[in-house]
Amino acid sequence: MSLFLIFSCLILCAGKSMGACPIEMGPSKVVVSYGGSFSANCSSLTHDTIGMGWESQHGGVELTLGVTTLPFKIDKVNDFIISPSCYIYRQDDSQCIEKLPVTVYQLPTRVYLHEPSSLTMLEGQQYGLKCEIFDVAPAKNLSVLWYKGNKKINTASSSESSLKPVKVLSEMSFTASREDDSAQIWCEAQLNLWSAEQKLPSNKSNSYKLTVLSAPAFTMPENETVTLQALKNLTLNCTATGNPSPKYRWQLPHASQEMDEDLTQSILSPSFVLPGHYACTASNSQGSSTKYFNVIKDPGNQATLAAIIGVFAALGAVLFIIGVLLVKSDGTFSCNKGSYQPASSRPV
Ligand SMILES: *[C@@H]1O[C@H](CO)[C@@H](O)[C@H](O)[C@H]1NC(C)=O
Ligand SMILES: *[C@@H]1O[C@H](CO)[C@@H](O)[C@H](O)[C@H]1NC(C)=O
Ligand SMILES: *[C@@H]1O[C@H](CO)[C@@H](O)[C@H](O)[C@H]1NC(C)=O
C-alpha cells in the first residue's frame, strides 16, 4: 500500500516538474570552476506568461513582467553548492519553478604519490601504493589513473559523494615483475565532467623509479640438443635476464677443452668442438639456473658422408678397372715389346 503511494507520488511529482513548467534553460546545465563565472538564459515556452524571475542564494533576479527570456549571471562562484531556479507566473495565476543544474569543480591542489615501502622490490612480491589527491571537487567525478612507464595500469574512481573539496586516497596493490625494473611509477588525477569546453587538464603526481630484483631466466629456456655440422661453428646461447646482471659459468664435456675457452661468456663458441653434454649456469644474488646443451654428431651428415665415400669408392673401382685394362693392354704391349727385344736379342 505504502509502496503504491510512493509510486503514484513519483509518477505525479515527475509529471508535475517535467510537464507543468514550460521552461527551457540555455545552457541546460552548467559546469563552472570555483571562482569562475557563468550565465544562463531561462526562456518561457508559453504565450500566457505574465512574468519570470530567478531564485538563488547568491543573488537572484526579481520578478520581471512582460518578458519571455530572462538571463542570470554569477560573476564569481564562491560556493560549491549552488542551485539557481527559474520561475514563471502565468495568466491563470499558477506559477512553476525549475532548477538549473550547476556543477562547481575544483582541480586538485596537489597529487602526491607516497614512497613505496621499498623502492627495491623483489619479483613476484606484492607492494601497496598510495596516491593522495588534495582538495578536489566533486570527488565522485574523479578518476585516479595509475601509470607504469607510459602504460596505464589501473583506473580507480572515488565513492566520496561530497560536493565540497575533499582529500581522496587511492590505494593500489602492485605485483613486481622483472619487466618493471627501472620503470617510473606515478598517479594522475582526472576530473571527468560534462563540459562544452575541452577535457580538463589532469594533475600528475611525483614519480618513483622502481628497481626489481629477479633471478636469472634464460631467454631461450628449453634445454637444447644441438647437432654438430661439418664446417660450421658451434654457438651455444645461454643468455639470461635478471637483476643484478647474471654471471655465467660453462662446463664442457672434456676438461681439456676448458683450457682454451672463456667460460664466463653468455654465448659460447668453442674453438675445438666435441660432442657431449655442455652446461651453463647463470647466477646472481637472487638465484641461479642451469641450462643443458646436448651436442651430437649429425647422423644425416654421416649418411651423406657415407654416400659420398660410396660414390668415390665406386668411382675408384671403375677407375681401377679401367686402369687395370689400360695397364693390361699397355703391359701386354710392353711385355710384347720386352719379350720381343730379348727374343730378338736372344737369337743374336
Ligand atoms: C542569452 O540570450 C542572449 C540574447 O539572446 C544571448 O546573447 C546570450 O548569449 C545568451 N546566453 C547564454 C548563456 O546562452
Ligand atoms: C559526474 O559523474 C557522474 C557519474 O558518476 C555523471 O553522471 C555526471 O554527469 C558527472 N557530472 C558532470 C558535471 O559531468
Ligand atoms: C633440462 O635438463 C635438466 C637435466 O636433465 C632438467 O633437470 C631440467 O628440468 C631441464 N629443463 C628444461 C627446461 O627442460
Q: What is the pLDDT of residues 39-95, one digit of tens each?
A: 999 999 999 999 999 999 888 999 999 999 999 999 999 999 999 999 999 999 899
40 lines ligand 1 (CB under 6 A): yes
Burial of 294 (0-12, 13-18, 19+ CB in 10 A): middle
Q: What number is the average pLDDT over the span 139-155?
A: 94
Residue closest via CA to ligand 3's atom 3 equals: 292
**pLDDT tens track for 210-235:** 999 999 999 998 899 998 887 778 89
Residue closest via CA to ligand 2's atom 10 equals: 193
Cell of 51: 512574468
- Cα atoms in the Cβ-side hemisphere of radius 13 Å centred on 72: 32
Q: What number is the average pLDDT over the span 193-210?
A: 86
What is the secondary structure of 255-287 as a DSSP string?
A: HHHHTTS-TT-SEE--SS---EEEEEEEEETTE
Residue closest via CA to ligand 3's atom 5 equals: 292
Burial of 317 (0-12, 13-18, 19+ CB in 10 A): exposed
Question: Is-contact 51 88, C-beta < 8 A?
Answer: yes
Q: What is the CA 205 to chain-centroid distance, rounded? A: 20
At 322, is the pLDDT very low, low, confident or very high (cuts 50, 70, 90)?
A: low
Three-class SS of residue 75? Answer: coil
pLDDT value at position 286?
96
At 194, is the pLDDT very low, low, confident or very high (cuts 50, 70, 90)?
A: confident
Q: Is the pLDDT of residue 196 over 80?
A: no
- Name residues whose C-beta falls within 8 Å of residue 138's C-beta, 6 or more positions apart in sequence: 80, 103, 104, 105, 162, 163
68 lines ligand 1 (CB under 6 A): no
Closest residue by Cα to residue 221 from 191, 242, 199: 242
Q: What number is the average pLDDT over the span 319-326?
A: 59
Helix or strand (DSSP H, E) at 105: strand 102-105
Q: What is the CA 48 to chain-centroid distance, rounded? A: 62
Residue 221 CA: distances (Å) to CA of 244, 247, 259, 296: 19, 16, 27, 20
From the CA of 216, how far away is ligand 2's center (Å)? 49
Q: How far apart are the first and last CA of the chain?
A: 159
pLDDT value at position 204?
96
Q: Is the pLDDT of residue 294 over 80?
A: yes
Q: What number is the average pLDDT over the span 108-125?
A: 95
Q: What is the pTM of this model?
A: 0.72
